């Protein structure tokens, strides 16, 4: 049982237990309850007229209703009592009443009072947001009725909501309280519901309009699209944009035309996937909620650029462009600097403002430039002046963006301002126009057209839009507004559209505190008829209508194919054309061949299928024969004979043995044969394919096929083979049988018949032949057997640039038996570089990306390097191009650190390559080759160890690099030039580490640094050096607090202590008890961290872009 939490967690558990038993009883007795209990005026007889039916149907889709339920014999009530249903928004609503036993917290028996919605539905996808007033009627003085309010999103798992302890049972039955008369009580509910989601709600029928489907988080876009759609003049211009030759996937204008057309003529919610696809957005973009104001600007700019040089050029500026004048006017001399600027929207500050008029007044407020902030008037010098903005003109369609999201420096985050902010239905902006410069000839009187509303906080939420589609929101009936909530559209009142979205705290349960207007659209009253002009089908180019109709026809055809897919099977057809050029085993590569594909009904006979192929390939039936491609046990795929006398009447599914796709080879009669039909093929013949191998080019040529008698000798084939190869007839040949991958056997005795020469003679066997040349051994792969053996070990490897994560790479066919040098030479040849200037990396075994480096002395072969490649995934290796030779690099140690200049700016990351057995001094010498030193500096460098934004130590130059560890995410090394005054320190001077922190010493940030201090110098001098080193203005430096931090203990230095003297002993390392180490004190600068924090969710910072 779902109820308002007025009694605590234990009551909730008890409620759930009771709910299970009570539901069982309700399911048994629901029919009797419906007959026994009456509802006021909501049950009609069977004799209703058609008009009454229509009225009832309209009544059932209403947004609110009040209904009562009389509970008889209340003092004897033991079980849950349910009222008959009252239909609101086409959903059944019931009053639920039940006695509630006492709990540990409330030991008195109480009455539970709930509102139930759509409880008998089996659907789990529906939802309906509603507010309600639950009332226990006082039967002598209704004004004293007991009332409580609820607001809830009803859905399948929470289909009832209310109070488990609405009233104490004894108070309910007390005659003096007036709630009971004749052992009856009267319960009343006034429910007000939004249009439901996930159930049958016909938006077109109830409002005349349809909604837009939400792709995941596109409600902000849907709200904006509806607003632009109902800017009728813009819609008409979008229809007229020329898109005849546009790409249907990438054209934003065409996608917008499609959405607008479907919004205008469709009866169902409209999808936006093609629109977001035309934006160039990925799937993830549709699950990111962006700013509707930003999208509005980007989309209008995109449309404006696409409208240039068309019949609708300048439509956007004519509708949305206004003009402002920014000025700086000197007070005491006649000098003014001004600039006229155009705007498409106005951003209004609402913090501390009551309404739109106050925000406009704030917008044009004049700022005085005086004192230290005087204006530089050029030849007139510094002058006192006034700075401000005035409006020259307002556009026909005025977009007002309310700045609900503001940066809070205390929280270092954007927060939403939910303050109350009123906006009128009629807005007059005449008083905000510059009286001297104004360009408007008509009054700046506006009518409210749309209200975009946001519910939620700065991390997310939901957008809806309220629109007065015909611009008649000023009509007093108040029923001219519609609410567009993604795919659901419903009529609503002026109060719901306007008054309820002012924001602010409200005791009313009906509206959430975080629900308020975010963007307002006003239309100039004098332009109302023009902006909201009627848009009919006659305004849409016929070519566009026909194109969209063709798209719908093709989509319907695809949907039909998908629904009927189980009735069809795919047949893939190959011909001799697919065999030419193939350099591998068998006749073609199944993964790369360009099949001719047929979708054929599974019930289609083989004879019918042959008719289809004959018609498609334009061949007579007698000049073609079908051979199914069969996978043999020896890992080859070869054609096999299909006897039409046996299989001609059988179905393709039966013949293919349910294999889908089914691959067949279609043999066709060669025009050069001079025959009218294919020769007869019988059981005494065998189908043989022949290939020619050329050792000079190490390549294979397909030479066709032949029908050969089984008893024929191999030698009888040789003249025909010579003819096919273009050799003289008597050319000596060497023949091989291609048995399977890596098994090509020499045919020794050509005088034997085929059945004794070839292994297990079958249709589809392949003979490979080559010229019998005594000089053949000069070639790398002298025989066909050598070629196919090499081919067996050949593999496609993709090489990707390690330094470019998005690099698709390039592929090379390499032998798995290659050693490191052979592989490096092949890659270097492709990249046109020296193989010794390449370094290779293995792939990671568990995810994408480069793994460990491969040493140039690697003694294995390519097969060993590809062990970690995932099955059925492309084999991949990574490389990077080097500036030094790989054999030199492998004797060096890679060391990453940061270079910081004298102004403490982190300039760049250094990747240094000192010798492996080198020292810190060697590392610093390497660094000098990559950095720019100060002109007046010392020319000497030092290496600092930095942990958690604090300097931990200065590394001695004689320290071995192998002793430096960079483990840990908070640890790093930094190289900097030693300032001239820090090279040689006297006995009364030392360097101390300084770090920034905010409030807590563990919240360190920024760039730490070393500071020279002297024994017994005043602390004020130390502060001056810190300020000079950091280059901080006086005003900001006043906010800095100083502290000495020793092992986490903070000793603040107050302003009164500024004249204390420095004691170097304080900054000496402190021994840590029980540990073989020392803690070094540091000077802390306590101030606000102005470095913007990086959000965990980087996608929230992603700007909206329309890529096409």
Measured CA to CA, the distance from residue 335 to residue 329 in angstroms comes to 6
| CB atoms near residue 275 (< 10 Å) | 22
Query: SS in 3 state form for 190-211?
Result: EEEECCCECCCCCHHHHHCCCC
Spell out the residues 6+ positions from residue 700 whose beta carbon is closer than 8 angstroms to its own: 582, 583, 691, 692, 693, 694, 768, 787
Contact 655, 607 (CB under 8 A): no
Helix, coil or strand: residue 850: strand
Residue 573: C-alpha distances to residues 301, 570, 629, 711, 734 (Å)? 50, 10, 10, 31, 33
- Counted residue by residue, the chain has a size of 1108
What is the enclosing helix (H) or strand (E) of 800?
A: strand 794-801
Contact 771, 726 (CB under 8 A): no
Contact 997, 1085 (CB under 8 A): yes
Residue 954: C-alpha distances to residues 933, 939, 1010, 1082 (Å)? 19, 17, 10, 14
Measured CA to CA, the distance from residue 213 to residue 817 in angstroms comes to 56
Sheet containing 895-900: order of strands: 906-912, 895-900, 971-977, 941-947, 950-955
Helix, coil or strand: residue 721: helix
Contact 136, 146 (CB under 8 A): yes
Alpha helix ranges (H) inside 934-1017: none
Among candidate residues 86, 97, 117, 219, the one labeled active-site is 219
| CB atoms near residue 2 (< 10 Å) | 20
Helix, coil or strand: residue 678: coil
**Residue entry with tokens 């951003």:** 347
Question: Looking at residue 821, what DSSP letter applies?
Answer: H
Nearest CA to 1107 among 277, 490, 192? 277
Pairing of strands 481-485, 460-467: antiparallel
Among candidate residues 138, 146, 462, 582, the one labeled active-site is 462
Largest CA distance in the chain: 127
Measured CA to CA, the distance from residue 123 to residue 568 in angstroms comes to 33
Residue 914: C-alpha distances to residues 576, 591, 898, 959 (Å)? 61, 49, 15, 13
State the distance between the two ends of the chain, measured CA to CA, in whole angstroms. 52
Secondary structure percentages of the chain, helix, strand, coil, to 5: 30, 35, 40
Contact 745, 736 (CB under 8 A): yes
Report long-range pairs for 840-845 (Cβ below 8 Å, ≥24 apart): 840/865, 840/877, 840/878, 840/879, 841/802, 841/877, 841/878, 841/879, 841/880, 842/868, 842/877, 842/878, 843/868, 843/869, 843/876, 843/877, 843/878, 844/868
**Is the peptide bond prior to 362 cis by the omega test (within 30 degrees of 0)?**
no
Active site residue 462: yes
| CB atoms near residue 97 (< 10 Å) | 22
Residue 989: C-alpha distances to residues 546, 814, 943, 1028, 1064 (Å)? 87, 66, 20, 19, 8
The DSSP annotation for 54-103 comes to: HHHHHHHT-SEEEEEEEESSGGG--S-EEPPPEEETTEEEEEEEEEE---
Helix, coil or strand: residue 138: coil
The residues carrying an active-site annotation are 219, 462
């Amino acid at each position: 049982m779902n109820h308002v939490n007025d009694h605590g967690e234990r009551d909730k558990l008890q409620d759930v237990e009771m709910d299970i038993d009570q539901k069982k009883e309700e399911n048994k007795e629901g029919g009797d309850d419906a007959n026994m209990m009456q509802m006021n005026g909501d049950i009609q007889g069977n004799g209703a007229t058609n008009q009454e039916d229509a009225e009832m149907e309209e009544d059932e889709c209403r947004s609110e209703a009040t209904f009562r339920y009389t509970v008889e014999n209340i003092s004897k009530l033991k079980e849950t009592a349910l009222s008959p249903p009252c239909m609101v928004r086409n959903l059944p609503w019931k009053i639920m009443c039940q006695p509630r036993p006492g709990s540990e917290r409330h030991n008195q028996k109480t009455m539970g009072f709930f509102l139930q919605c759509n409880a008998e539905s089996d659907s789990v996808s529906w939802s309906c947001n509603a507010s309600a007033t639950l009332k226990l009627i006082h039967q002598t003085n209704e004004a004293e009725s007991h009332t409580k309010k609820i607001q809830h999103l009803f859905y399948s798992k929470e289909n009832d909501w209310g109070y488990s302890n609405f009233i104490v049972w004894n108070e309910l039955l007390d005659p003096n309280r007036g709630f009971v008369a004749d052992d009856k009580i009267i319960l009343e509910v006034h429910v007000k519901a939004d249009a439901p989601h996930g159930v049958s709600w016909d938006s077109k029928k109830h409002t005349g309009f349809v909604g837009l489907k939400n792709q995941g988080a596109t409600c902000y876009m849907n709200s904006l699209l509806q607003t632009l759609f109902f800017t009728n003049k813009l819609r008409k211009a979008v229809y007229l944009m020329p898109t005849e030759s546009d790409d249907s996937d990438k054209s934003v204008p065409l996608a917008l035309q499609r959405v607008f057309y479907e919004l205008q003529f469709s009866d169902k919610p409209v999808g936006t996937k093609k629109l977001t696809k035309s934006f160039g957005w990925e799937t993830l973009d549709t699950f990111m909620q962006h700013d509707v104001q930003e999208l509005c600007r980007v989309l209008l700019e995109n449309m404006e650029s696409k409208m240039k040089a068309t019949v609708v050029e300048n439509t956007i500026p004519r509708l949305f462009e206004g003009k402002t004048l920014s000025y700086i006017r000197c007070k005491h001399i006649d000098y003014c600097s001004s600039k006229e600027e155009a705007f498409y929207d106005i951003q209004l500050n609402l913090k501390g403002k009551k309404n739109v008029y106050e925000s406009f007044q704030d917008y044009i407020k004049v700022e005085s430039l005086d004192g230290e902030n005087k204006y530089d008037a050029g030849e007139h010098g510094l002058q006192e002046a006034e700075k401000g903005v005035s409006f020259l003109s307002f556009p026909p369609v005025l977009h007002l963006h309310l700045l609900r999201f503001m940066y809070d420096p205390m929280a270092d985050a954007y927060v939403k301002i939910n303050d109350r902010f009123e906006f009128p239905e009629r807005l007059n902006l005449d008083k905000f126009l510059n009286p001297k410069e104004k360009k408007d000839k008509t009054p700046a009187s506006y009518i409210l057209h749309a209200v975009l509303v946001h519910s939620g906080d700065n991390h997310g939420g939901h957008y809806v839009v309220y629109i007065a589609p015909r611009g008649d929101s000023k009509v007093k009936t108040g029923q001219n507004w519609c609410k567009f909530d993604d795919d659901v559209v419903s009529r609503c009142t002026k109060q719901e559209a306007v008054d309820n979205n002012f924001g602010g705290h409200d005791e009313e349960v009906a509206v959430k505190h975080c629900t308020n207007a975010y963007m307002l659209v006003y239309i100039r009253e004098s332009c109302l008829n023009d902006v909201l002009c009627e848009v009919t089908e006659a305004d849409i180019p016929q070519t566009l209508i026909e194109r969209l109709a063709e798209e719908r026809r093709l989509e319907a055809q695809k949907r039909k194919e998908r629904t009927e897919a189980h009735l069809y099977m795919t047949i893939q057809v190959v011909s001799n054309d697919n065999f030419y050029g193939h350099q591998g085993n068998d006749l073609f590569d199944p993964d790369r061949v360009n099949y001719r594909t047929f979708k054929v009904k599974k019930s289609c006979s083989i004879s019918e299928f042959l008719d289809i192929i004959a018609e498609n390939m334009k061949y007579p039936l007698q000049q073609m024969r079908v051979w199914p491609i069969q996978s043999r046990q020896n890992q080859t795929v070869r054609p096999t004979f299909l006897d039409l006398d046996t299989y001609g009447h059988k179905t393709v599914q039966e013949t293919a043995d349910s294999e889908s796709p089914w691959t067949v080879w279609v043999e066709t009669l060669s025009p050069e044969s001079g025959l009218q039909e294919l020769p007869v093929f019988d059981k005494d013949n065998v189908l043989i394919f022949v290939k020619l191998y050329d050792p000079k080019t190490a390549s294979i040529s397909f030479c066709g096929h032949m029908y050969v008698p089984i008893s024929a000798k191999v030698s009888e084939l040789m003249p025909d083979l010579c003819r096919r190869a273009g050799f003289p007839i008597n050319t000596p040949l060497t023949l091989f049988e291609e048995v399977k991958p890596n098994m090509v056997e020499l045919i020794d005795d050509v005088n034997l018949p085929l059945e004794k020469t070839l292994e297990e003679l079958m249709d589809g066997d392949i003979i490979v032949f080559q010229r019998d040349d005594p000089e053949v051994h000069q070639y790398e792969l002298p025989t066909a057997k050598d070629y196919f053996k090499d081919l067996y070990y050949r593999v496609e490897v993709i090489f990707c640039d390690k330094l470019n994560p998005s690099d698709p790479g390039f592929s090379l066919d390499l032998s798995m038996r290659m050693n490191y040098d052979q592989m490096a030479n092949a890659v270097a040849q492709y990249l046109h570089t020296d193989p010794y200037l390449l370094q290779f990396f293995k792939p990671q075994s568990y995810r994408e990306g480069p793994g460990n480096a491969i040493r140039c002395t690697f003694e294995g072969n390519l097969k060993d390097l590809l062990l970690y490649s995932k099955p059925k995934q492309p084999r991949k290796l990574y490389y990077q191009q080097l500036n030094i030779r790989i054999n030199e690099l492998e004797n060096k140690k890679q060391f990453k650190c940061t270079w910081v200049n004298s102004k403490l700016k982190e300039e760049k990351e250094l990747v240094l390559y000192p010798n492996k057995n080198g020292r810190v001094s060697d590392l610093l010498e390497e660094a000098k080759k990559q950095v720019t030193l100060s002109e007046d500096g010392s020319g000497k460098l030092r290496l600092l160890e930095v942990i958690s934004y604090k300097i931990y130590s200065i590394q001695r130059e004689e320290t071995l690099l192998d002793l430096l560890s960079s483990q840990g995410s908070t640890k790093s090394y930094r190289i900097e030039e030693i300032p001239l005054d820090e090279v040689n320190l006297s006995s009364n001077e030392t360097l101390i580490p300084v770090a920034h922190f905010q409030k807590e010493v563990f919240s360190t940030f920024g760039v730490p640094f070393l500071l020279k201090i002297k024994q017994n110098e005043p602390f004020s001098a130390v502060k001056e050096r810190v300020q000079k080193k950091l280059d901080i203005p006086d005003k900001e430096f006043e906010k800095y607090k100083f502290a000495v931090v020793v092992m986490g203990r903070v000793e603040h230095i107050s302003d009164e202590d500024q004249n204390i003297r420095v004691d170097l002993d304080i900054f000496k390392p402190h021994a840590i008890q029980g540990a073989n180490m020392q803690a070094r004190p540091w000077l802390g600068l306590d101030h606000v961290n102005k470095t913007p924090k990086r959000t965990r969710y980087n996608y929230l910072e992603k700007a909206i872009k329309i890529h096409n």
